[in-house]
Structure 1
Amino acid sequence: MNERILRVLEFNKITEQLSNQAATSLGKELALQLKPSTDIAKVVELQMETDEAVQVIRLNAAIPLGGISDIRASLKRSVIGGVLTTKECLDVANTIYGGRQVKDFIEKMEEDLTILNGLADRVTPLRDLEQHIKNCIDDHGHVMDSASQKLRGIRSSIRTFESRVRDKLDSYTKTKSNMLSDALITIRNDRYVLPVKHEYRGSIGGIVHDQSASGQTLFMEPKAVVDLNNQLQEASIKEKQEIDRILRELSEHIASQEIFLNENVTVLAQIDFIFARANLGKQMKAAMPKINNNGIIKMQQARHPLIAADEVVANDVEIGESYTTIVITGPNTGGKTVTLKMVGLCTLMAQSGLQIPAFDGCEMAVFENVFADIGDEQSIEQNLSTFSSHMTNIVDILEKVDHQTLVLFDELGAGTDPQEGAALAMSILDEVVSRGARIIATTHYPELKAYGYNRENVINASVEFNVQTLQPTYRLLIGVPGRSNAFDISKRLGLKENVIEHAKVHIGVDSKSVDNMIASLEDSQTQAKKDYEDAHQILLESEALRDEIETMWKQFEQKRETLFKKAEEKAEKALNKAREEAELIVDEIRNMKTEVHLKEHEWIEAKKMLEDARPNLAKRKDPSVNVTPVSDNDLQPGDEIKLLTVNQKGEVLERIAKNEYLIQVGIMKVKVKRKDLQLIGKKKQTFEKPLATIKGSSYHVSTELDLRGERFDDALIKLEKYIDDTLLAGYPNVSIIHGKGTGALRKGVQEFVKKHPSIVSSRPGSSSEGGSGITIIEFR
């Protein structure tokens, strides 16, 4: 990108604004050196960097860049053996600390900051070097006593000598105050002295180091303190030597980390530069453009970045797809040149990684070259006229222009005969258009108003002028050529009607037709803009209504969930109550079995009471379980199901009728209709032998029960169920296999048999039946 275009479009003012956003001298330096890139990959990377920083700023997070200095010169001196000053050492320590703060800040951000995290990873903390410097130098740049034991001892002796000198001199101020100009102790040539009156010089005695301007006061070092002052001077020299040694040691330590420190400085400068670009974008209310390599520019409500926000007029600009050339016509001071510069400056900003002052969704192209012929660049030294100056510049542009070029022509062909200038302007435009460049040109020539209608890829545009106020509105009208407002303006200013009408007679028919056409186009443009604004307002209202409906729907969902939760809690209470009632029923059944022999009709009645205790709850589909209604043939014994009426899982025991099943839910066995069941999963087949099965209307039960390997409590439950099944089957006796083992299970079986009212007797098995590992029981 040539320097001339940067100067013409005032890109340096953008870099100055950018440097003001930088927090460090390093960032300011990079900002002032900023130049547009012509590499699309580099431009995209720069835009991504800026966007990541914008994300951080959008979260109201301020990156801590304080304390970071440009220490590169100090590093270079330390590497070649130079001794750094305390301030330089302290700047190194503060820069290390600042880098660590920046690193921690970026790493703690929850946003996806790929580029910034990559930069932060390159920062080396160097805590040891920072701590070494901080242990030797305080925040004011003074070497501390703790820097070394030797320095601590030297400074202790200095304080002792100073105290002794002062004590000696204090005795003079008390006993010989009449000989002193002031009763105070002062310093001359780094030695403690007294202000002695000139006439008492001999009485005090000693060395004169200085005198007052009048000569009446002599600053004398009494003989009594000469030796002490000498000792103090020697100690001070030792202090300076020790400080030099400490600083040399620190400088060597800094030099040993020069590679890491230089890398830290480079990275921190880059991070500061990135956040400066983001802050400038925030200040301009800018947006990240989509970058392309096809010469396409699309900006909605774009603003000139160097015009104050309360003065600038936003415009829509689009070029590169439907047309490659825009010819802007209209009166002076209407904003044509401002529009030209805005497009050029926004292009340079986008290619520099800066966001552009336009609405979101803007799109900018990367050009190899941007050329501009703007303003009166007449060269007095070369004795060139305005036309010659412009033409020299245009000749240079035509030598370099190609399809990857943006060309900006201001008042093309001006400065010469209007007819020749217009013809020349059209010829130049034809040549540049044929090269495939993107062109925006402004002109006064009316001949160019029809240029856009006769050329492919060319469109007319104009700047709007308010005849009522006699002021330009600075709005760009794409597709509408500018027209002269001389008659309207003259009429508004008071020119007589007959003079204006007489002037109109001298205008050709073609000019009148063109003006009428332009007026019609302006009216159509105005109406289209009004329709667009109305449609946009309806869109905003629709979006607001949609947001309101979404909010209400969320509130409804929350309320529904709350009601479902309350219903579930109510169902849970009802289920708990049902379980309590079921337990009472079971206890009652057991009492009945212990007191009297339980007959078949009593057993059926008890089971009916248990079923009646089931709560009648409302059905609700559980969204957490993905189940589907099942058909008649879907359910088999052992299948895992869900009982919808109580929202509980259970297991199918058997199918009783076509649409009725016996299931087990917890400790309860109930009969339910098919429509109240949902299949959750098929139960894996096992080889456990069932205690009883149903075939037709009769029970078929094995004549022996094997309890070996069962836990004690599980075995007794299984035994109780088995006894009930054998009673229903009508067997006279059965065998219980419990094994020998420890005897605990055998004892539990025998105690159960003794208490059961339906068992007449029991005996251990014979040797041929299994011996003591089996118990034979007989029923009534």
Structure 2
Amino acid sequence: MNERVLRVLEFHKIIEQLTDNAATSIGKDYASKLKPLSQLEDVVRLQNETDEASQIIRLNKTIPLGGISDIRMSIKRSVIGGVLSTGECLDVANTIYGGRQVKNFIENLEEEFPILQEFVERIAPLRELEREIKNCIDDHGQVMDSATSQLRSIRSSIRTFESRVREKLESYTRSNSKMLSDAIVTIRNDRYVLPVKQEYRGAIGGIVHDQSSSGQTLFMEPKAVVELNNQLQAAYVKEKQEIDRILKDLSSLIAEQHMFLTENISILAEIDFIHARALLGSQMKAAKPKMNDQGIIKMRQARHPLIPADEVVANDIEIGKTYTSIVITGPNTGGKTVTLKMVGLCTLMAQSGLQIPALDGCELAVFKEVFADIGDEQSIEQNLSTFSSHMTNIVEIIKYVDHESLVLFDELGSGTDPGEGAALAMSILDEVIGRDARIIATTHYPELKAYGYNRDKVINASVEFDVETLQPTYRLLIGIPGRSNAFEISKRLGLDEQIIEQAKGLIGVDSKSVENMIASLEESQISAEKDYEKAHEILRESETLRDQLDKEWKQFQHKREELFKKAEMKAEKAVSKAREEAESIVEEIRKMKASVNIKEHEWIEAKKMLEEAKPTLANKQEAQTSQPKESKALYPGDEIKLLTVNQKGEVLEKVSENEYLVQVGIMKVKVKRQDLQLLGKPKPTYEKPVATIKGTEYHVKTELDLRGERYEDALLKLEKYIDDSLLAGYPKVSIIHGKGTGALRKGVHEFVKKHPSIASSRPGSGGEGGSGVTVIEFR
């Protein structure tokens, strides 16, 4: 991208803000070198990277980038055999740890961030190298005693020598205090000395290492400690040699891992760079733009990135679909140049992977070149006029402009005769439009107001001006050329009405018509915007009402289901209670049967009908449907259902055209045809022995096997089996319960004793199953 364009559009100020948001020095280095890219796939990749980091910020989380340093030079020095300092080694260890923290943070996020996760997958943990460095160097950059046993021994001897020297010198301070300027032990040239008064130099004796500025105090090393100081210095030399050896070994270990370390620092710098882009977007309240290579720009409520939020005016702008050029006309200081720069700077930011200050859903194009001729850039050295300076830039632009270019012209054709300048401006626009470039141009020439109406790919625009306050509003009006406000402004400033009217008479009819047309367009647009706002508000209220109704409908559905459940539970309880009462009544009548001529099988049939009399409850999820009326003729033996009582039965005979005699259980009733539903034809006759009682067949075995059944289930089956056996007319049956623990056998025996229709019972014989079987004989 042209460096001059980057300077004119003040892209460097965006770079400064981006650099401030980087957390590491190497991240700042990456940010400072950011340049717009010109390939769509590259720009999309950058935008996706920034978007992932933005999502992390929106989750109120921060990528931990602390402790990471630019260790590239240290790595290079270690590779060529250099010995790194303790601080450099510590930076390497801290950077390894910082990289591992970033890796763990991104890998442990609940959401998926594929681009960032792909980055951190390549970070090598290098725990062993970090451990080796941290075992030797503490957090303050000092080599620890525990680094090696040799260093521990050397430092132990140093402390011993230091203690002995101090002890010797402190004895001097106690016994010769009058000879000393101060009763302290100090150090000069790495040797312990005493501050001796000048006149007692001979009395103390020894080596003078320094003196005070006045010359009255000499810093002397007494002869008695010279040897101890020499031993101490020798220990210091050994300590330094051992530390150098340790640092050399650590530097060699770092050199061995230089490829992984270089890769790690590169990835961490990239992540910091991405995070800085996301932070800048968050500060600007920016949005991710959708990128295209068709030259389409569409922004809603876009703001100039460098104007403070409390001062900037947001504008909508669109270009590249129905028209490829915008000509903004109107007076100076109205905000035309700001709009021009805003579009250019947002384009550069988007192509650099930065989000732009506009509403979500914005769309920007990737241009191979952005050209701009903005402001008064006349060259004093070349002694060029304003017009010449502009023309020099325009000539250079026309050399290279094509369909993949965005061109920004500010005050096109200015600085020369108005007539010639306007004609030249239109000719230049025609040329650039013919190359299918995207163009935004500003001008104050009235001749260009009609330009947009005579070109298919051009649209007029203007910056709104408030005549009441005599101030521009900085709102961009697409589709409306700027109109002169000279008469209105002059009138409000107090110019005589007669002079204004005379001036109006001097302008041409065409000019008046154009001004009236523009005024009408402005009024229409303002009215349309108000209607749009009103419609938008109504739409918002409608959506709110729809959501509320949807919520209430769901609540109603839930409430209805609860009521269905309660009703069914209530019905179940009522039926259960009725059944219990009916069974109680039947049992009472059973006890009275000795005095009433009622057969046992008739009571069993009545009990079965009672059990089957449970009503079918409506399903809350299904609509109630009525049974279709049957019209087909019935014949004796047909299996039917009596719809009025929901019971199965059999047709005995046809009484009349629409009436049949049917048997349902023990009852014979005459029923209308519409109350009967045909279920099937008579079943084939079984070869097994059957008992027929009043038209009902019962196919029952002479034995019941209860083995493996639960106690309660077994007794229920036993009770039903006894009833069926009585209906079948068997004189005796066998109950197989097995031996087992005896619980089931005991339960069977107790049931048999209480049943009024059982005459006797006995265990099975050897051939019948022994004690695992109970043989029952009926009355």
CA offset digits 1:637-663 (Å, max 9, x no partner) = xxxxxxxxxxxxxxxxx9864465679
Relative to structure 1, the CA distance from residue 698 to residue 162 in structure 2 (aligned partners, 3 Å threshold; closer, same or farther) is same
Per-residue deviation, 1:760? 3.6
Distance 2:51 2:554 in 1: 33
Q: Which stretch of structure 1 is more off in the superposition, 486-495 or 470-479?
A: 486-495
Look up the SS of the partner of 1:239 in the other structure.
helix
1:220–1:504: structure 2 CA closer, same or farther, 3 Å change rule?
same
SS at match of 1:515: helix
Match of 2:720 in 1: 721
Q: How far apart are 1:298 and its partner, in Å?
A: 0.7
Look up the equivalent residue of 1:704 and give its one-letter code. T
Please tell me the residue identity of whatever aligns with 2:725: T
The 5 A counterparts of 1:50-449 are: 50-449=50-449
Change (3 A) 1:762 1:254: same
CA distance in 1, matches of 2:591, 2:150: 101
Structure 1 residues 719 and 17, CA gap change in structure 2 (3 angstroms): same
Check 1:307–1:564 CA distance in 2 against 1; reply closer, same or farther (3 A cut): farther
Partner residue in 2 for 1:730: 729
Contact 2:691–2:728 (Cα < 8 Å) also in 1: no
Tell me, what secondary structure is at the counterpart of 2:380? Answer: coil
1:492 alignment counterpart: 492
| Structure 1 residue matching 2:450: 3-state secondary structure | helix
Distance in 1 between residues matched to 2:88 and 2:274, nearest whole Å: 26
CA–CA distance in 2 between the matches of 1:747 and 1:310? 93
Aligned 8 A contact 1:705 1:722 in 2: no
Structure 1 residues 260-300: Cα deviation after superposition (integer angstroms, max 9, x where no partner): 22111111111111111111111111111111111111111
Letter in 2 for 1:175: S
AA aligned to 1:502 is: Q
Gaps of 5+ in 2: 630-638, 649-664, 666-686
Check conservation: 2:691, 2:729, Cα contact below 8 A: no
Deviations 1:701-755 (A, max 9, x none): 3352263865584666544432221112222234567799999999987887677
**Cα displacement string for residues 86-116 of structure 1 (whole angstroms, at most 9, x for unaligned residues):** 1111111221222122222222222231211
Letter paired with 2:200? Y
- AA aligned opposite 1:64: P
Which shifted more, 14-23 or 216-225? 216-225
- Cα deviation for residue 18 of structure 1 reads 0.9
Match of 2:683 in 1: none
Q: Counterpart of 2:732 in structure 1: which amino acid?
A: N
Q: Give, in whole Å, the separation in 1 of the partners of 2:512 and 2:349.
A: 43
CA contact (8 A) 2:702 2:730 kept: no
- Counterpart of 1:647 in structure 2 is none
What is the distance in 2 between the residues matched to 1:748 and 1:498?
Answer: 124
Q: Distance between the aligned counterparts of 1:575 and 1:151, measured in 2?
A: 94
Shift in alpha-carbon separation, 1:175–1:632, aligned structure 2, 3 A: farther
Deviations 1:604-651 (CA, angstroms, capped at 9, x unpaired): 676688789x8x998662x6xx99989799xxxxxxxxxxxxxxxxxx
Q: Contact (CA 8 Å) 1:571, 1:617: kept in 2 or not?
A: no
Q: Mean Cα displacement is larger for which, 760-769 or 386-395?
A: 760-769
Q: Which residue of 1 aligns with 2:778?
A: 779
Q: 1:580 to 1:228 in 2, by over 3 A?
A: farther
Structure 1: distance between partners of 2:59 and 2:536: 29
Structure 1 position 697, deviation (Å): 3.7
SS at match of 1:291: strand
1:58 deviation in Å? 1.1
1:702 aligns with 2:700: yes
**Letter of the aligned partner of 1:159 in structure 2?**
R
Question: Contact (CA 8 Å) 1:373, 1:409: kept in 2 or not?
Answer: yes
Superposition deviation, residue 171 in structure 1:
0.8
Relative to structure 1, the CA distance from residue 373 to residue 773 in structure 2 (aligned partners, 3 Å threshold; closer, same or farther) is closer
Corresponding residue of 2:670: none
1:617-628 → structure 2 map (5 Å cutoff): 621=620
Counterpart position of 1:532: 532
Q: Deviations over 1:35-93 (max 9, x none)?
A: 11111111111111111111111121122111111111111111111111111111112
| Contact 2:292–2:365 (CA under 8 A) maintained in structure 1 | yes
Structure 1 residues 667-707: Cα deviation after superposition (integer angstroms, max 9, x where no partner): xxx9xxxxxxxxxxxxxxxxxx9999999842423352263
Q: What letter corresponds to residue 452 of structure 2 in structure 1?
A: G
CA distance in 1, matches of 2:336, 2:692: 98
- Residue 562 of structure 1: how far off its partner (Å): 7.0
For residues 550 and 60 of structure 2, the distance between their equivalents in structure 1, rounded to whole angstroms, comes to 28
The one-letter amino acid paired with 2:723 is D
Distance 1:703 1:36 in 2: 93
- Higher mean alpha-carbon deviation, 759-768 vs 27-36, is at 759-768
- TM-superposed CA distance for 1:7, in Å, is 1.1
**Aligned partner of residue 364 in structure 1, secondary structure:** strand
Contact 1:46–1:352 (Cα < 8 Å) also in 2: yes
1:403 partner amino acid: H
The equivalent residue for 2:677 is none
- 359-368 or 505-514, larger mean C-alpha shift: 505-514
| Contact 1:589 1:606 (C-alpha < 8 Å) held by counterparts | no
Partner residue of 2:655?
none
Q: Which amino acid aligns with 1:722?
A: Y
Shift of 1:155: 1.5
Aligned mates of 1:694, 1:133 — CA distance in 2: 100
**Cα deviations by residue, 1:408-441 (Å, 9 ceiling, x for unpaired):** 1111111222211111111111111111111111
Root mean square deviation of aligned Cα: 4.0
The residue matched to 1:193 in structure 2 has which SS? strand
Q: So what's the TM-score if we normalise by structure 2?
A: 0.84
Partner of 1:10: 10
Measured after TM superposition, the shift of residue 450 of structure 1 is 0.8
Match of 1:646 in 2: none
Q: Is the 1:585–1:610 contact (alpha carbons within 8 Å) kept by the matching residues of 2?
A: no
CA distance in 2, matches of 1:691, 1:48: 83
Which stretch shifts more, 714-723 or 43-52?
714-723
Kept in 2, the 8 Å contact 1:703–1:735? The answer is: no
Give the residue type in structure 1 aligned to 2:455.
R
In structure 2, the CA distance between the partners of 1:114 and 1:312, relative to structure 1 (3 Å rule), is same
Paired residue secondary structure (1:306): coil
Paired with 1:170 and 1:77, the residues of 2 have a C-alpha distance of: 46
Aligned residues: 730
Change (3 A) 1:327 1:200: same
Further displaced range: 569-578 or 525-534: 569-578
Alignment-mate amino acid for residue 98 of structure 1: G
1:779 counterpart letter in structure 2 = F
Q: What displacement does 1:381 show?
A: 2.2
Percentage of pairs with the same residue: 68
Q: Secondary structure at the match of 2:252?
A: helix
Alpha-carbon separation, structure 2, partners of 1:70 and 1:370: 34
Partner Cα distance (1:353, 1:343) in 2: 16
Q: CA contact under 8 A between 2:123 and 2:264: conserved in structure 1?
A: yes
3-state SS in 1 of match to 2:37: coil
- Change in Cα spacing, 1:272 to 1:558, as seen in structure 2 (3 Å) is farther
Compared CA separation, residues 660 and 693, structure 1 to 2 (3 A): farther
CA offsets 1:303-331 (integer angstroms, 9 cap, x no match):
11111111111111111111111111111
Q: 1:746 to 1:219 in 2, by over 3 A?
A: closer
- CA 1:61–1:611 in 2, change beyond 3 Å: closer, same or farther? same
Q: Please list the CA deviations of residues 451-472 of structure 1 after superposition, one character each: whole Å capped at 9, or x if unmatched.
A: 1111111111111112222211
Distance 2:331 2:456 in 1: 25
Q: Is the contact between residue 49 and residue 274 of structure 1 (CA under 8 Å) also seen in structure 2?
A: yes
